[in-house]
Amino acid sequence: MLKATYVNSSLEWKPSPVVALATSADDSQVAAAREDGSLEIWLVSPGSVGWHCQLTIHGDRSSRVSSLVWCRAGSKGLPCGRLFSSSIDGSISEWDLFHLKQKIVLESTAFSIWQMAVAPPSGAHPSEVKSQNLANGFLNGIHHGNDHDDNESSESDDDSSSDEHLNQVIEDTPLAIACDDGCVRIYTVPESDELIYNRTLSRVSGRTLCVTWSCDASKLFSGSSDGFIRCWDATLGHEIYRITVGLGGLGGGTEICVWSLLALRCGTLVSADSTGTVQFWDSQHGTLLQAHSYHKGDVNALAVAPSHTRVFSAGSDGQVILYKLSNDVVGSSVDTSTSIVMKKWVYVGYVRAHTHDIRALTMTVPISREDALPEEKAKMGRKRRRHIEFSYHKWAHLGVPMLISAGDDTKLYAYSAKEFSKFSPHDICPAPQRMPIHLVLNTVFNKNPLLLVQASNSLDILSVRSNSGNIADGVPGSSKGRATTDLLARIKTKASRKIICSAISNTGMLFAYSDHIKPNLFELKKHEASKIAWTVSKVPLPPKLPYSHCMIFSSDSSRLILAGHNRKIYVVDMETSELVHAFTPQRHDYNEELPPSEPPMTKMFTSNDGQWLAAVNCFGDIYVFNMETQRCK
């Protein structure tokens, strides 16, 4: 165990930018897609207010994600819904959050897809769809009602016919995609398998960059690189009208790109474009209501609060700007009968937390249950928190809507949607995509510490030394200055495959990694009387081992334990390279004749005596195995 603190800056940490965000159907989770092909699910555990990354899925790094959407999953699916992503290569994938894998549901359309939009349920007003939250612990999850919408009805819906109609709507959810060839294509999302083609709207000049549905799903709005917003009849597929975008709605728009559109319940359509302008339109007639040009570059994203009275915009200048719907009274101040209430969208203010371009915005209501802390613990916590953290705990409460922003600086920030300008934004992930490292002390190589560093497609073995003495002999809690590292070996993956997990034995002799194809094991050797001091040789593993989400060596380095993607845990003997046992994580009422029913394990820990193995899945379920009796406790 490392007792003292050492500092080293030789490792190259390069987190990937966030390119898309989306909120789950029950408002409880936020999906974040990064440029390197990975997908993260962020949420707040019930009883707390702090964010954490629940799971990460390593997708295809060669296929850049352009947008994310969640679809409601019906009665048999998860309350969070089904997650889909579009890609610049023209394909659409579904992300399986149970099996932790990416599945292609639409092969390439031959044209890049810029954005997707899911039609809202046409059988119910959007504010009548109750949101639910899934507690941590997949099998023990409890669904909690969440009345976050300002206009949400308090009446319970016991009409079975309405439920049947809503389920039918969910089964036949339309999905619109904006394509690079100038077309909007509409697909139907089935219960499973690939998307079903519906129709293609008329091709327009330029690229179709964004698309959104009206709140009643009767109209489609698309924005393109020719500077036009088009309104389409969603049933007949013909164009109803078009809007020329420009400052104040004036002038030609041939070089203006419409990056984002937002349709509000009040009948207002919001657009964001490459001139830095956010415009509010009457969606019924296509007339301009207000135009605001407070951004200093492209406006990339829009979001709306659950009340639909607050709109947020963000773009390349790193600003997040709030616009609010206000009521202005026009007419006689004496005779109220002649006065008219005029609604206007007014600029409120901005916050700049990001250092680079903001690529995405989304709205969420993440806190499903809030447990009050004892008074004395709360007082102790206040003393230690920084101001920005303290302000977050002042506004982050049950049912409070949060705005989430992300972009090229790789960070995610949370803002209060109701008190946007009053509190500072909260940094959700201070250290995005932390580099996996494994430090082993007292190795067989003269008891010198070794460090295994996992990069995207390579592993580095580093020796660690300190000028102040042996690192393993540090005084608990002390700071021993700087540590230096020397590269001993580097292993690169075949065809630059992305590494999912890695591990190194306590002896330092053995290390392993797994990509999306299979696990690999290596042995590190030191040669005293040779020109090449260190060599690495590959060690065979049992055939047909599945690729792994997690791996670990036993404390005595005699066994390698792998959590396979097929939801089984494999134990391999290092001396014979034979498979000793395969555990199946299960509940007490599990039938061994059935295939595994639990999610894959993402973390594993072994006891120092080698008797116990603890495995954890991404939903927080813990399984304990006895390595001697080879049974689940």
Listed residues 383, 407, 427: the one ending a domain: 427
What range defines the domain where residue 314 resides?
17-149+159-427
pLDDT (mean) for 511-528: 94
Q: What is the DSSP letter of 337?
A: G
User: Is 439 a domain residue?
Assistant: no
Same domain, 361 and 278: yes
Is the same domain home to 363 and 505? no
Q: Is residue 553 within 8 Å of residue 510, measured between CB atoms?
A: yes
Helix segments in 115-254, DSSP class H: 160-171
- Would you give the DSSP letter of residue 370? B
Residue 605, SS3 per DSSP: strand
Is residue 146's pLDDT more than 70?
no
The tally of domains found in the chain comes to 2
- Which residues neighbour 65 within 8 Å (Cβ) at sequence distance 6 or greater? 19, 20, 33, 37, 39, 59, 85, 86, 87
pLDDT at 596: 67
- The per-residue pLDDT for 482 is 76
Q: Taking a C-beta distance cutoff of 8 angstroms, is the pair 59, 102 a contact?
A: yes
Contacts (Cβ under 8 Å, ≥6 apart) of 289: 268, 280, 281, 282, 344, 345
The whole-number pLDDT of residue 594 equals: 56
Tell me which residue has tokens 């009521």.
Answer: 327
Answer yes or no: is 464 within a domain: no
- Token pair, residue 124, equals 């119910």
Q: What is the CATH number of the domain that holds 579?
A: 2.130.10.10
**Residue 135 DSSP class:** P
Residue 296 structure tokens? 């200093």
pLDDT of residue 80: 87
Q: Which of 378, 410, 427 is the last residue of a domain?
A: 427
Sole residue written with tokens 């001993």 = 488
Maximum CA extent, the chain: 102
**234 and 348 together in one domain:** yes
Let me know whether 499 and 412 are in one domain.
no
pLDDT at 138 over 50: no
Q: Is the pLDDT of residue 401 over 90?
A: yes
Least Cα distance to 54 among 98, 104, 93, 18 occurs for 98
Q: What is the pLDDT of residues 320-350, one digit of tens each?
A: 999 999 987 555 555 555 556 678 999 999 9
Q: Give the pLDDT mean for 29-47.
A: 94
Nearest residue to 49 (alpha-carbon basis) of 379, 432, 366: 366
Residues 420 and 539 in one domain: no
As a whole number, the mean pLDDT across the chain is: 84
> Which residues, at least 6 apart from 439, have a Cβ–Cβ distance to it below 8 Å?
2, 449, 450, 451, 452, 464
- Per the model's pLDDT, the better-predicted residue between 365 and 472 turns out to be 365
Give tens-digit pLDDT for 57-92: 999 888 899 999 999 887 667 788 999 999 999 999
DSSP secondary structure code for residue 217 in this structure = S
Q: Mark whether 518 and 420 lie in a shared domain.
A: no
Instruction: Output the pTM of the full model.
Output: 0.85
Query: Do 317 and 231 share a structural domain?
Result: yes
Give the full edge-to-edge strand order of the sheet including 450-454: 5-7, 479-492, 458-466, 450-454, 437-440
Three state DSSP letters for 508-568: CCEEEEECCCCEEEEEEEECCCCCCCEEEEEECCCCCCCCEEEEEECCCCCEEEEEECCCC
612 shares a domain with 501: yes
Q: What is the pLDDT of residue 69?
A: 97
Q: Which backbone phi and psi does 382 adopt, to 5 degrees?
A: -65, -35
Question: What local confidence, expressed as pLDDT, does residue 329 receive?
Answer: 59
Instruction: Give CA–CA dist 18/412, Å, rounded.
Output: 8
Read off the tokens for 581. 């046992």
| Same domain assignment for residues 129 and 242 | yes
What is the spatial distance between Cα 49 and Cα 368, in angstroms, rounded to a whole number?
9
Check whether residue 98 and residue 176 sit in a common domain.
Answer: yes
Q: Is residue 391 part of a domain?
A: yes
| pLDDT tens digits, one per residue of 183-195 | 999 999 988 778 9
Query: Which pLDDT value is given to residue 260?
Result: 98
Tens digit of each residue's pLDDT (9 = 90 or more) over 579-626: 999 998 887 655 555 566 788 999 999 999 999 999 999 888 999 999
Tell whether 398 is covered by a domain: yes
Same domain as 63, residue 196: yes
How far apart are alpha carbons 499 and 117 in whole angstroms?
A: 32
Instruction: Tell whether 478 is covered by a domain.
Output: no
Does 268 score more than 60 pLDDT? yes
Whether 180 shows a pLDDT value over 70: the answer reads: yes
pLDDT, tens digit (0-9, with 9 covering 90-100), for 102-117: 999 998 878 999 999 9
Q: 484, 465 in Cβ contact below 8 A?
A: yes
Q: 7 or 538: whose pLDDT is higher? A: 538
Q: Which of 388, 412, 427 is the last residue of a domain?
A: 427
Q: Is the pLDDT of residue 52 over 70?
A: yes
Q: Is there a contact between 368 and 144 (Cβ–Cβ < 8 Å)? A: yes
Q: For residues 44 and 131, state if they share a domain.
A: yes
- 453 lies in some domain: no
What gap in Å lies between CA 273 and CA 291, rounded to an integer?
Answer: 11
Tell me whether residue 290 is exposed, middle or buried, using C-beta atoms within 10 angstroms of its C-beta: 0 to 12, 13 to 18, 19 or more: middle
**Mean pLDDT to the nearest integer, 516-525:** 96
- Select from 372, 368, 269, 373 the least CA-distant residue to 311: 269
Q: Which residues of 306-330 are buried (b: 16+ CB within 10 A; e: fewer)?
A: bbbbbbbbbbbbbbbbbbebeeeee
Mean pLDDT of 266-282: 96
Residue 135 has a pLDDT of 37
* Strand pairing report for 143-146 and 173-179: unpaired
For residue 231, is pLDDT > 60? yes
Does some domain include residue 369? yes
Q: Which amino acid is at 325?
A: L
* Residue 405 placed within a domain: yes
- Tokens 């199946």 belong to 584
Contact 261, 270 (CB under 8 A): yes
**pLDDT of res. 191:** 80
What is the per-residue burial (b if ≥16 Cβ within 10 Å, else e) of 417-455?
bbebeebbbbbbbeebbeebebebbebebeebbbbbbbb
